[in-house]
Structure 1
Amino acid sequence: MSDSPQPYRVLARKYRPRSFSELIGQDAMVQTLGNAIRRGRLAHAFLMTGVRGVGKTSTARLIAKALNCVGPDGQGGPTIDPCGQCEPCKAIAEGRHIDVVEMDAASHTGVDDVREIIEAVRYAAVSARYKIYIIDEVHMLSKNAFNALLKTLEEPPAHVKFLFATTEVNKVPVTVLSRCQRFDLRRIPAELLATHFTHVVEAERVAAEPEALALIAQAAEGSARDGLSILDQAIAHAEMDDGPSLVTAAQVREMLGLSDRGSVRRLLALLLEGETASLIAAVREQYALGVEPLALMRGLMELVHAVTLMKAGRDIASPGQSTEEREMLADWAAQLGFAPLHRLWQLLLKGHDEVANAVLPIESCEMALLRVMHAATMPDPAEVARLLREGGASSSASTEGSSAGAASSAPASARLPATYADLIEAFWQGGKGQLAQELHDCVGVIRYAPPQFDYRPTPQLPADFLARLLPALREVTGTAWQVAAGEGPAEPTLLEQEQRQAADSRARILETPVVKAAMAAFPDAELDDRLERWSAEA
């Protein structure tokens, strides 16, 4: 009689790391732990925090193995490379070691559960070097449970170690955090996940396209467990077809409701070109293919983000990125300014939130994209302020029907602020209130000859003033300026001029016969500010 087949184990469990060398993306933590173990500087409590699926509980179990491993010959001590062959290593890996206790705080939240631990820690380990308590999702313990644990957590017996794991470290009391050695497990980069998935499919004897694995890695959002679950589903989806199993990018997109990169690029191109009818038709075509409206909005946001990073000079090469895509991103980065890119991002972000909460997702998606398209043809606040100052709306006609890229360009014939006061007013109108205030209060003009400007700073002027001023000048006026700080003779700041004018006005009022007589008759009287303002206006 043949043995019954072993039940299938999902990939997320089958490929759980069995040693620190298999724990991907957490090299800094592994190095810190290794140094601590080698030097005998072991904390009595560890706290692992991070998003789901990055290896918090797996790390806790590996630490338990590392601290209790005795080696194949039974003579070994704590090590960052547990053998996996001795009885403690095997028992911990199989979850049956009597001295390694795992507790799920989500289902054991009360003070009574913690009291059992407090009572048990007084007794020495039965067969291991350390008695270890692993508490998963520790943030779900009640306030009373945390308080009951504090004293034991601060001064536990030498044979006890506490290992905590949580996805919401902000909910863990500071009194507990201060008693633990904390490790923040990072999101695993998509490139590293894709490489890991390549090894998994090879071990599973399944063929997969590199682009398919890259899509799964991106969808995992830094979580190895989520990625392996998606890969499990993709393999099952591929096995539905006749012939050898092959996980393709098209299958993954269909399974996840994703749009391919080429379609998203075409959508963004139509959006920037202002092709309303073609844009709506392309959105409906993607919707008919099973692409979720939210996925469309997210794809456009990722594309705008990639263009912005490329414009900022960052290399954004990623697995599966074609030469065509890279060239198109570079072309957009060269044509679009930062201002329209930021505007596109904000509009798409607002549209994404609307689609996520909409009763009619596809309709909301279309309306959001139409808003993006038409908002892109509107002049930015700096241009509006310039048009208002010039008193003419004729130039606004040139913005009708323009794309988002065209909206970023200031008119070549734009008139620069004639006076320094006009420049400050342009900053107020352009939404640069802080810079306008600093120009008013803390800057003495040495020479103002647009687009050149030399100034003498006051001690109150922030150190980063010039770095913030130059891009703001270009944004507000549409022209690159030459600005320099100097120590030469300069006019008083506008604030100083206003204060001097107010003092002169006050002195003149006090010298008038009527006021002098009133002050002599009433020695304790004070000059009302309203009289000063009335005098100045008169």
Structure 2
Amino acid sequence: MADAGKDATQTGAYRVLARKYRPRDFNSLIGQEPMVRTLTNAFNTGRIAQAWMLTGVRGVGKTTTARILARALNYKTDTVDRPSVDLSVPGVHCDAIMEGRHVDVIEMDAASHTGIDDIREIIEQVRYAPVSARYKVYIIDEVHMLSNQAFNGLLKTLEEPPPHVKFIFATTEIRKVPITILSRCQRFDLRRIDAALIKQHLAHIGELEGVEAEDEALAMVARAAEGSMRDAQSIFDQAIAHSSGKVTAETVRDMLGLADRARIIDLFELLMKGDVAGALTEFRAQYDAGADPATVLTEMAEFNHLVTRIKFVPAAAEDAALSQDERTRGLDFSKQLSVRVLSRTWQMLLKGISEVQTANRPVNAAEMVLIRIAHAATLPTLDEALKQLEQGGGVPSGGGVPRGNGGAPMGGGVTAAAIATQTFAAPVNGGGQTMRLVASDPAASRGGAAARAGAGPRDRACGQDQLAVRPCQARGIEPRHRAEGDDQALPAPGLDRARPTGGKPDARCATRPSAEPFQPSQGMDGTAVDGDRLARGRRRNARRDRGRAARARDDGRAQRSGGRRDHGALPRRQDRQRDHPECGRGRRRSGSDG
């Protein structure tokens, strides 16, 4: 790596840090030890695959690994003439391969060569032996950008390539690669690089470049890179140019538009104390200093996550990427705050970030989020409130009762008990049935239960105590079955329709079917029914059934003989009002139909 810096200095042309300190062998790859171990064992045992698939986020070294792998496949020196992962001594083809100008190592960007014609060209060239190297290596970057026809055209060659051909694919979207391609390759998932490793590597680059950098500044750069070494080197290169000498935390904060980490922790502490005024003042001061409202909430959510993680994993406080304030104060908060409070704050911050990002006035939206968090910090959790209520302590302090501005209870001291005993009046104009939610008086509830216990089965099936209102009653219609002294008496079968005075029966006033079978010999009030009346009803029902059976037989005969009974298709009401001289029937009595 130092040699690379000297070579760049000698040429006189400035090269960015990401290219100047690009790894040239497996030993200089940072954070990819599992992949290096697998390739080392494969090369030592001679189990070299025909194709590799490298996947990972941007800047973790996919293309660099592909070039190093091509160099290892074609490694040749005066003493070594076989594939090797020990590349400490530069080989014959090493420089040309790492610079991307070797004739037998073909690099293709699939983002600009997506069609079947490009793949057809590769298929035609693989039959020829390499010019000077041991293997002809095809490196296809961003392979997920190939079209379906291109993938299908590559399948056969990828499954059975010539012995002198190797394929190396690199992609950031592994899910877009067909499974038929993945099954023909050895897959390596390049991991995100740890922030501590990035910070250590940036400090080493600073020493080679002769640049002094603060540890806190390097930690900010490592966090902003999010596991990408190339992003970290690019940010560090920009910070060097921005600072004109020493890279400080303030310089990096101003360059990236970040909020001061110590002030973020101060704001978090004010919120956890419930100090709304202090929190708003601190937030306005950070906003005036140039901090973005969404960035403030995002960094506060990161600190909340850090405190929660330290609470369960105390070793997380020893992370080298953390500042001293984050380490010490994070430990203090993890001992003072409960998991319920931290989880609630996390959820409110996540929802608040999306609100701020979509709001027309992000500052106002952020202040409302802070007010909600500070107000909720003093509220008891659900478990604590239920526990205090069970212990008879009444409403827990800190917000068990809805409060208005200034913390005064709303509604003139309305308590939860008063709300629990509140009843809701039945609507009188909607025509629908109503339901009693909570009993307004315990004595009335006991009285209603006793009334239900002594009522008939239809009473119990339909009863709503004294609050049940039938639709006919809601419209001012007097049910004809109402008995004197019995407001809740229900009709017997056939008499369960309310009839307004001087009008027709109301079909919408039918009561619900009984939950228990009705006993004909017993009335709704428990008294016996007249036997003659029951006998007449049975005879009437029998005559009606016989008449229906006779009409059905006549209809069947008419259909079989090809004729048609005119009166058989008439409705019952019209059938009762007509004579049928052609079939010898006279007008039926309306009473026979019940």
Q: Which residue of 1 aligns with 2:381?
A: 380
Tell me how far apart the structure 1 counterparts of residues 516 and 390 of structure 2 sit (CA, whole Å).
31
Q: Which residue of 2 aligns with 1:39?
A: 45
Q: Which residue of 2 aligns with 1:175?
A: 180
1:136 aligns with 2:141: yes
Q: Which residue of 1 aligns with 2:192?
A: 187
Structure 2 residue runs without a partner (length 5+): 1-8, 404-513, 519-594
Equivalent runs, 1:4-83 vs 2, <5 Å: 6-71=12-77, 73=78, 75-83=80-88
Q: What is the one-letter code of the residue matched to 2:264? A: V
Q: What is the one-letter code of the residue matched to 1:80? A: V
Q: CA RMSD in A?
A: 2.7
Q: Secondary structure at the match of 2:314?
A: coil
Equivalent runs, 1:377-526 vs 2, <5 Å: 377-383=378-384, 394-395=395-396
Q: Which residue of 2 aligns with 1:468?
A: none
Tell me how far apart the structure 1 counterparts of residues 11 and 137 of structure 2 sit (CA, whole Å).
34
How far apart are residue 188 of structure 1 and its match?
0.3
Residues 388-408 of structure 1 show CA distances to partners (whole Å, capped at 9, x for unaligned) of 879996335565899xxxxxx
Larger Rg: 2
Q: Conserved in 2, the CA contact under 8 Å of 1:74 and 1:86?
A: no
| TM-score, normalisation: structure 2 | 0.63
Q: Which residue of 2 aligns with 1:363?
A: 364
Q: Secondary structure at the match of 1:182?
A: strand
Tell me how far apart the structure 1 counterparts of residues 279 and 57 of structure 2 sit (CA, whole Å).
37
Tell me how far apart the structure 2 counterparts of residues 263 and 401 of structure 1 sit (CA, whole Å).
32
Q: 1:108 aligns with which of 102, 107, 113?
A: 113
Tell me how far apart the structure 2 counterparts of residues 401 and 211 of structure 1 sit (CA, whole Å).
45
Residues 80-121 of structure 1 show CA distances to partners (whole Å, capped at 9, x for unaligned) of 022563331111012110110111111111111111111111
Q: Which has the higher contact order (CA 8 A, sep 6+)?
A: 1
Residues 205-261 of structure 1 show CA distances to partners (whole Å, capped at 9, x for unaligned) of 11111111111111100000000000010000011xxxxx10111111111111222
Tell me how far apart the structure 2 counterparts of residues 322 and 89 of structure 1 sit (CA, whole Å).
41
| TM-score, normalisation: structure 1 | 0.70
Tell me how far apart the structure 2 counterparts of residues 532 and 297 of structure 1 sit (CA, whole Å).
63
Tell me how far apart the structure 2 counterparts of residues 532 and 256 of structure 1 sit (CA, whole Å).
76
Residues 463-506 of structure 1 show CA distances to partners (whole Å, capped at 9, x for unaligned) of xxxxxxxxxxxxxxxxxxxxxxxxxxxxxxxxxxxxxxxxxxxx
Deviates more, 1:383-392 or 1:168-177: 383-392
Q: Conserved in 1, the CA contact under 8 Å of 2:74 and 2:134?
A: yes
Q: What is the one-letter code of the residue matched to 1:375? A: A
Residues 62 and 357 (structure 1 numbering): CA distance in 2 closer, same or farther, change over 3 Å?
farther
Tell me how far apart the structure 2 counterparts of residues 186 and 132 of structure 1 sit (CA, whole Å).
24
Q: What is the one-letter code of the residue matched to 2:16? A: V
Q: Conserved in 1, the CA contact under 8 Å of 2:144 and 2:171?
A: yes
Tell me how far apart the structure 2 counterparts of residues 32 and 43 of structure 1 sit (CA, whole Å).
12
Q: Secondary structure at the match of 1:48?
A: strand
Q: 1:216 aligns with which of 216, 221, 233?
A: 221
Which structure shows the higher strand fraction? 1
Tell me how far apart the structure 1 counterparts of residues 516 and 209 of structure 2 sit (CA, whole Å).
87
Structure 1 residue runs without a partner (length 5+): 240-244, 403-529
Q: Which residue of 2 aligns with 1:410?
A: none
Deviates more, 1:364-373 or 1:319-328: 319-328
Q: What is the one-letter code of the residue matched to 1:131? A: K
Q: Which residue of 2 aligns with 1:247?
A: 247
Q: Conserved in 1, the CA contact under 8 Å of 2:50 and 2:167?
A: yes
Q: Which residue of 2 aligns with 1:345?
A: 346
Q: Which residue of 2 aligns with 1:464?
A: none
Q: Which residue of 1 aligns with 2:315?
A: 315
How far apart are residue 5 of structure 1 and its match?
6.6
Tell me how far apart the structure 2 counterparts of residues 359 and 533 of structure 1 sit (CA, whole Å).
66
Equivalent runs, 1:80-159 vs 2, <5 Å: 80-83=85-88, 85-159=90-164
Residues 97 and 25 (structure 1 numbering): CA distance in 2 closer, same or farther, change over 3 Å?
same
Q: What is the one-letter code of the residue matched to 2:158? A: L
Q: Which residue of 1 aligns with 2:170?
A: 165
Residues 154-201 of structure 1 show CA distances to partners (whole Å, capped at 9, x for unaligned) of 111111111011111111111111111000001000000001001111
Q: Which residue of 2 aligns with 1:281?
A: 281
How far apart are residue 353 of structure 1 and its match?
2.4
Residues 44-78 of structure 1 show CA distances to partners (whole Å, capped at 9, x for unaligned) of 1101111100000000000000000102x164211
Identity of aligned residues (%): 54
Q: Secondary structure at the match of 2:396?
A: helix
Deviates more, 1:286-295 or 1:227-236: 286-295
Q: Conserved in 1, the CA contact under 8 Å of 2:379 and 2:398?
A: no
